[in-house]
Amino acid sequence: MDKNKVWYYEKLSAKVLQSLKGNNIEAFYCKTGKETREKILSLIPEGASVGLAGSVTLKEVGILDELMKGNYKLYNQYLPDLSKEESLKIRREGVSAGYFLSGTNAVTLNGELVNISGMGNKIAGLCYGKKVVIVCGVNKIVKDIKEGIDRTRNLSTPMNAKRLDFNTPCRETGFCDYGLCRAPEFDRMCNQLLIIEGEREKGRVTMILVGEELGF
């Protein structure tokens, strides 16, 4: 990454980390995916059960491979050859695992997290998981909640719709058409919107901000 972008992202990250901690969310900065993997593994004891939200970021930092190789009970809804019913069952079980791993669609300078979900398992895990670890690339830092929602609808969701081959207008156009997407013939992805402004239980949620551009 260009050294000027690195400088810029580091300045933004310092502000976000301070805000997250003020919102009772534990927060760490890791420069690379390797450092991120090591940090996640230091937070999750061997033998623990681990659930997953759908996340390109988690795949890109390589933590899924490490968890699959390690001594963990991993609820992995993306194993090959699973039926739709089997995948749904694993998602539901993963929400109540000892640890829940997720990305986030956006994080604001005030330490607020913005997420949109199609099925709701990510939302449920973030809200009520026993221990939650969120991984976020610096490219997802936004000014405020409004910008976070706009980023999620017009950047994250179209690319995810394309990646997952969802029947949505944004898969074809590349941007959100909120009114059209509500038509019954489309397989809507933006069904639940979650804004986390803070956390009540100290230590339940940990955020790792990574000094790389990751995910959608």
DSSP letters for 11-45: HHHHHHHHHHHHTT-EEEEESSHHHHHHHHHHHS-
Average pLDDT over every residue of 27-50: 97
- What angle, 0 to 180 degrees and rounded to 10, lies between the N-to-C axes of helices 84-95 and 121-128? 10
Q: Which of 81-95, 132-146, 162-176, 180-194 reaches the highest mean pLDDT?
A: 132-146
- The pLDDT score that the predictor gives to residue 159 is 92
Report CA torsion sign: 25, 45, 137, 89: negative
Q: Of the candidates 56, 90, 61, 66, which has an alpha carbon nearest to the alpha carbon of residue 162?
A: 56
pLDDT category of residue 154 using cuts at 50, 70 and 90:
very high
Averaged pLDDT of the chain? 94
Question: Taking Cα atoms as reference points, which of 90, 49, 91 lies closest to residue 70?
Answer: 49
Kindly provide the residue ranges of all beta strands, DSSP E only, lying in the chain, ordered along the sequence: 26-30, 49-52, 73-75, 99-102, 106-108, 113-117, 132-137, 141-142, 192-196, 205-210
pLDDT at 44: 98
Alpha carbons within 13 A on the beta-carbon side of 169 = 14
Task: Give the pLDDT score at 39.
Answer: 98
- Indicate the pLDDT class of residue 105, thresholds 50, 70 and 90: very high
The CATH number of domain 3-210, selected from 3.40.50.10420, 3.40.50.720, 3.40.1190.20, 3.10.450.50: 3.40.50.10420
The residue that leads in pLDDT, 22 or 187, is 22
Q: What is the pTM of this model?
A: 0.94
**pLDDT for res 112:** 98
